[in-house]
Structure 1
Amino acid sequence: MEASRPQNGTFVQTEINWDKLDKTKFYVVGAGLFTGLTVALYPVSVIKTRLQVSSKDAAEKTAFSVIRGILKTDGIPGLYRGFGTVITGAVPTRIIFLTALETTKIAAFNLVKPFKLSEPTEAAIANGMAGMTASLCSQTLFVPIDVVSQRLMVQGYSGHAKYNGGIDVVRQIIKSEGVRGLYRGFSLSVLTYAPSSAVWWASYGSSQRFIWRILGAGQEYSPSQGKIVCVQAAGGIIAGATASCITTPLDTVKTRLQVMGHERRQNIRQVVGGLIKEDGWKGLYKGLGPRFFSMSAWGTSMILSYEYLKRLCVQE
């Protein structure tokens, strides 16, 4: 078990380390658990993406107006455009991410231990390194899925092309741009998700330690399961708020690059200039509300499910 270490030397056991898990059970149960979460939270991604690619004169400028527009034209299925593509790639991507996360976290904690830093600082550095490494490892598979799903999310909206499913998107991208078209925005995606993942996991790890100190964790060797879950949920909310505020501009630019047709292709500088020209600097924060909600809701749900999954899969 990984432990929070209060100043008086007692320990609060709150985390289960990678070497204590039944890996087969972890991957099988985890696939089902995270698929369920994706089903529940996917519409938020569709709304966020539509807001980020909307033009200045678009009628739908708020999350609620986007929802009304989607329900009016496509009904509930419209909130799940591109879902098949995402769910197909979600399981292997999540396996790569979580494996890299846990193995790197152990190595990172061992690496920073000799420096005798405070526990929140140790947790921030180790979790941040693990989050960034995990994101980098999963991007090769994630970016093509992201490109295809986002084109499906915005098809027919604000002048974007229409497709006959994910395979048609892949076929048209390869026909016009080659395989590299599936990796459009790859460098920006790495620059977006790697820091975002690092910030999220660093904030999550360190905020938990701070909360345990505030709660006087040293007074009890084994806190109740309910208290542990509340602290983990609070850490997830803080992490989501921090990461979304820092990385939304990069995510907005990346999304616009990935959904553009070949004939309308722009570089990063042109996209940034266009956003600022349309809406000023606040244009870089299009979709901040849904993204904040998505990262906080997804992050909190994910981390609670993840910690629950580890408890289910701990070896006797």
Structure 2
Amino acid sequence: MAASSLGQTTEINWDKLDKTKFYVVGAGIFTGVTVALYPMSVIKTRLQVATKDTVEKSASSVIRGILKTDGVPGLYRGFGTVVTGAIPTRIIFLTALETTKAAAFKMVEPFKFSEPSQAALANGIAGMSASLCSQAVFVPIDVISQKLMVQGYSGHEKYNGGLDVARKIIRTDGIRGFYRGFGLSVMTYSPSSAVWWASYGSSQRIIWRLLGQGTDREGAGPSESTIMLVQAAGGIIAGATASCITTPLDTIKTRLQVMSLERRSSARQVVKSLIKDDGWTGFYRGLGPRFFSMSAWGTTMILAYEYLSTGSFSFTNICFLDNEITNLRILTLLFSDFGVSKNNVVCKSLTAFHNLPLIFLLVPLAPFGTP
């Protein structure tokens, strides 16, 4: 059976998921990874908004400055706002992602592209659509949290928490102040989501082919450790690709969103200022932390999900399916068509969850790790 058939036959679709378990597990994983990687977002944001007179020009100097003035809590400025806003944002994002993915695969299938190309296009479409839907909630959270991240830094105003930021935005700009940089946000995060997933899906399949893992069913499937290593490599490649392509837009967007009313500039003025201060390299401020965050976030989420489910489509995660009839059909499918190795359903190189993101796809929303 071809790899594409495997994806179609064993894909856990939205209508077969236990929604309660889906979101509960997702919330737990998301919270843990957010706590670990949030400081990278603070460092990246400070680097992006620094002026030419700012002493702290590198990630290490920013870290030292934060620890010296605020201690470890300084690395988590705006964290409460992010976590609070993440609940509706994630629900919207994951719902859109799952409901879009099946249609995306059907849409690209008639074009007869290669399997890696189909995976890249379908993943890209699903990721971009989900990111677009979630922007309505995410952008206001992004504006507030970023103002908290840079308060008192490089001449920026100080605040007494997220509510204080919100009150001042409403007083000076009205509701539209929460959507400052909305267009750039859409231009940054939706392509970032698409690029990350497209890169992850296609690079993973290329790596498997380089390792000599085809789509036939003869011989033993890859070991669990090999699968996880390939997933990790795919996450790193995806993070590098997405961060390099989208960091310039992210830098412009961030500088626009944290500016006070008195210092407000247009996107064109921000571009001119960056070129004047640092040349074209100014557009890549914060690239290091952003690359690390995007790579680590996506890879960690994928590996964590694989670990929790004890494999890609194992007996332990059949509880995600709604009814016994479906469970029995899946068990029959497992024994009749595919090799089973340590609870992983494998077709040489492809596991059921490799086709499209499920719960572990929390990549494309900064400051939660990315974008």
- Per the alignment, in what secondary structure is the counterpart of residue 291 of structure 1? helix
**8 Å CA contact 1:101, 1:133 repeated in 2:** yes
Q: Is the 8 A contact 1:12 1:221 kept in 2?
A: no
- For the pair 1:50 / 2:46, whether they are aligned, the reply is yes
State the alpha-carbon separation in 2 of the partners of residues 10 and 81 from structure 1.
45
Q: What is the Cα deviation at residue 21 of structure 1?
A: 2.7
Which sits farther off after the overlay, 287-296 or 96-105?
A: 96-105
Report if aligned partners of 1:41, 1:298 keep a CA contact under 8 Å in 2.
yes
1:18 offset after TM fit, Å? Answer: 3.7
Instruction: Tell me which residue corresponds to 2:300.
Output: 301
For residue 123 of structure 1, the aligned residue among 97, 119, 124 is 119
For 2:16 and 2:71, how far apart are their aligned partners in 1?
A: 45
Q: Would you say the 8 A contact 2:21–2:320 is kept in 1?
A: no
More helix by share: 1
AA paired with 1:247?
A: T
1:133-212 paired onto structure 2 within 5 Å? 133-212=129-208
Aligned to 1:227: 226
Whole-angstrom CA distance in 2 between matches of 1:146 and 1:47: 15
1:171, 1:76 → 2: CA distance?
A: 27
Offset, 1:260: 0.2
Query: Secondary structure at 1:57's aligned position in 2?
Result: coil
Match of 2:82 among 86, 111, 118: 86
Deviation at 1:91, TM superposition (A): 2.4
Say if 1:26 and 1:309, in contact at 8 Å, map to a contact too: no
Secondary structure of the residue aligned to 1:255 is helix
| CA displacement, residues 267-307 of structure 1 (integer Å, 9 cap, x when unaligned) | 00000000000000101111111111111111211232344
Distance 2:19 2:289 in 1: 34
In 1: Cα distance, 2:221 partner to 2:99 partner: 26
1:24, CA displacement in angstroms? Answer: 1.1
User: Which stretch has the larger CA shift, 145-154 or 11-20?
Assistant: 11-20
255-264 vs 225-234, which deviates more?
Answer: 225-234
Alpha carbons of structure 1 residues 13 and 77: separation in structure 2 relative to 1, 3 Å: farther
Mark the CA change 1:229 to 1:4 in structure 2 (over 3 Å): closer, same or farther: farther
Structure 1 residues 304 and 10 mapped into 2: Cα distance closer, same or farther (>3 Å)?
closer
Q: Is the 8 A contact 1:257 1:266 kept in 2?
A: yes
Q: Distance in 2 between matches of 1:309 and 1:15?
A: 18
Question: Aligned partner of 1:92: which letter?
Answer: P
Structure 2 equivalent of residue 283 of structure 1: 282
- Give the Cα–Cα distance (whole angstroms) in 1 for the partners of residues 182 and 158 of structure 2: 23
Q: What is the SS of the residue equivalent to 1:58? A: coil
Tell me by how many angstroms 1:112 deviates. 1.1
Q: 1:260 to 1:213 in 2, by over 3 A?
A: same
Give yes or no for contact 2:100–2:126 (8 Å, CA) kept in 1. yes
TM-superposed CA distance for 1:54, in Å, is 0.4
2:17 maps to 21
Q: Which moved more, 1:13-22 or 1:197-206?
A: 13-22
Distance 1:207 1:19, change over 3 A: farther
Asked if 1 retains the 8 angstrom alpha-carbon contact of 2:231 and 2:303, the reply is: yes
Q: How many residues align?
A: 312
Contact 1:11/1:221 (CA < 8 Å) preserved in 2?
no
Match in the other structure for 1:266: 265
The two structures, once aligned, show a CA RMSD in angstroms of 2.2
Partner of 2:256: 257
- Give the structure-2-normalised TM-score: 0.80
Gaps of 5+ in 2: 322-326, 328-371
Identity percentage over the alignment?
75
